[in-house]
Amino acid sequence: MSKRTLVIGWDGAPYDKISKWVQEGKLKNLGKLVDKGAFGPLETTKLTISSCAWTTMVTGKNAGKHGIYDFFGTKFVGNSYFREPINSKWRRAKALWNYLSNYGYRVGTVNIPITYPAERVNGFMVGGMMSPSVDAPGFTYPANLLKDYPKLKEYRIDIEGAKHLDRDKFIYEVNKTIEERFDLFRYLIIKKDIDLFFGVFTSSDRFSHYMWHFFDQNHPYRKHESEEDLKKYKNSLLELYQKLDEYLGELISEFGPDNVMVVSDHGFASIYKYFEFNKWLYLKGYLKFKPKSEWKEFKHGKLNPKRTYIYGKVDWSETQAYMIGKRGSVYINLEGREPHGVVKKEEYEDLVEELIKEIKKIKDPETGEYIVQDALPRDEIFSGPYLNEAPDILTFFKDKYASIGYIVDLNSEDLFIVNDRPDLELELGIERYAGIFVASGLDYRHTNVNAWIGDVTPTILHTYGIPRDPDMDGKVLDIFAEDFVFKERKAELSKKEKSIIAKLKKLGKI
């Protein structure tokens, strides 16, 4: 009988807080795993965006090799600068479940980000965030996987419009989503005979984005909270992870795994100030706006009217660079690539170099300190066949700072927004680099480990006797027990391959 592995993802679980709570005995089930297994920080991708990070985790490759950098791709919508949202088809590298399936192992996954539409695997798959609905074609593989699941209609794929809910409603949604996720995990691991189960709880991330000020006594947004609420929610993050810890224990009991991994795609930290990146590009002359009389407004119930979004307002014929997303990703308005690109290819490198120099000079006028840790061209971060789909420049802000792409007041030259504005509905916490890695069980020894997010898949594959793909950037971690023996398993042939071999044998070719 094959060994069984349980992999559980806690989206956004920060190493500093989790390790502290483990030491204090406040996460009992995780603590048991740590006491016997490998534990340490899991360094995430340079782009700390969940779509990029989870995809790097499950492929073992940097984004230049799998092609997912953000929640949008490189395909523009019509003649505009809107980019189409991504789905699992954007991933152009084998994932953990592909390798396991090819080697004859049975695998089940639920709610791993960017797994919609679900893929054909030797086992089952339930789509994660950005799945349109539980009724959508491709939400599960096989298609009838959940036809008998009694709670399917209640199942939340994600928390809708978190920042638009009142706090009590938001916390209710977080807790219900966690409960529903656990119930589906348990239902499937009881019903299906599989070798590896990988399920992700994403509500921990949603909760952290909008509740982080309760866990940082210096956060500027705290001034809006009553003493009663500050006290009420002080331990709410710990309570959330204690609930996840309780469910972890129950899943271990139900599944009976030989090995258990608990991982997160990134950590978390506070945002004290936001930097209006596109306004800075505008004031520097790299981005130009049309006259206000020509602006097009996009109306949507979830778009904050206090924000000026650049789409429909920029004069692209006079614009050299723009920032999209929320992590300081700068794109050059390149001729032949962008719908109305003006920067010629021979001008590209000089412009990138010039912008990087200018970005590194950005200071907070209140403190006089530089706010950018580093700014780098994409080829110093990523490598691979899909490098050209990456942002042209990546900006890495110092702690407590983040950027936004929309503009609050174009008439003001103030580039910084203190994160104490309820009217702007800004995130109060942001992704940071140190997530968690725990591996415990039959095949792993007790040790401290510093891992990179791309190390997870090659390490799991090694556990199952599957050689690391030489094209992977991740490595097999040195966490295996002394008596572990790597027994290489041969890949199983597909029906098509078996048919070809049979024909060749019949012809006497082999």
Query: pLDDT (tens digit, 9 = 90+) per residue, 331-358?
Result: 999 999 999 999 999 999 999 999 999 9
Q: Is 75 helix (H, G, I), strand (E, B) or coil?
A: strand
* pLDDT over 80 (residue 288): yes
Q: How far apart are CA 318 and CA 257, in angstroms?
A: 59
**What is the pLDDT, as a whole number, of residue 309?**
80
Query: pLDDT (tens digit, 9 = 90+) per residue, 432-444?
Result: 999 999 999 999 9
* pLDDT over 80 (residue 372): yes
Contacts 24+ apart (CB under 8 A), 170-177: 170/210, 171/207, 171/236, 174/203, 174/206, 174/207, 174/240, 175/203, 175/243, 177/202, 177/203
Q: How far apart are CA 323 and CA 339, in angstroms?
A: 16
**What is the pLDDT, as a whole number, of residue 56?**
99
**What is the pLDDT, as a whole number, of residue 38?**
99
The mean pLDDT value of the chain amounts to: 94
| 37 or 496, greater pLDDT | 37
Dihedrals phi, psi of 8, to nearest 5 degrees: -120, 130
Q: Is 333 helix (H, G, I), strand (E, B) or coil?
A: coil
* pLDDT over 80 (residue 227): yes
Over residues 96-116, the mean pLDDT reads 98
Q: How far apart are CA 31 and CA 41, in angstroms?
A: 15
According to CATH, the superfamily of the domain at 5-266+433-463 is Alkaline Phosphatase, subunit A (3.40.720.10)
Over residues 459-485, the mean pLDDT reads 98
**Which one-letter DSSP state was computed for residue 456?**
H
Spatial contact of 280 and 412, defined as CB atoms under 8 Å apart = no
**What is the pLDDT, as a whole number, of residue 185?**
99
**What is the pLDDT, as a whole number, of residue 373?**
97
Q: E strands along 149-218, which residues?
A: 196-201
Q: How many Cβ atoms sit within 10 Å of the Cβ of residue 399? A: 12
- Model confidence at 459, in pLDDT bands (50, 70, 90)? very high
Q: How far apart are CA 61 and CA 130, in angstroms?
A: 22
Over residues 208-215, the mean pLDDT reads 97
* pLDDT over 70 (residue 510): no
* pLDDT over 60 (residue 509): no
Q: Is pTM beyond 0.75 here?
A: yes
State the chain's maximal CA–CA distance in angstroms: 84
Domain positions in the chain: 5-266+433-463, 271-427
- Model confidence at 507, in pLDDT bands (50, 70, 90)? low
* pLDDT over 60 (residue 1): no
Cis-peptide, bond into residue 14, ω within 30° of zero: no
Contact residues for 238 (Cβ-Cβ < 8 A; gap 6+): 17, 21, 26
- Model confidence at 403, in pLDDT bands (50, 70, 90)? very high
Segment of 71-85, 308-322, 377-391 carrying the highest mean pLDDT = 377-391
Query: pLDDT (tens digit, 9 = 90+) per residue, 234-243?
Result: 999 999 999 9
Over residues 160-184, the mean pLDDT reads 87
Helices (H), 37-140: 50-59, 63-66, 96-102
**What is the pLDDT, as a whole number, of residue 310?**
85
Over residues 473-477, the mean pLDDT reads 99
* pLDDT over 60 (residue 32): yes
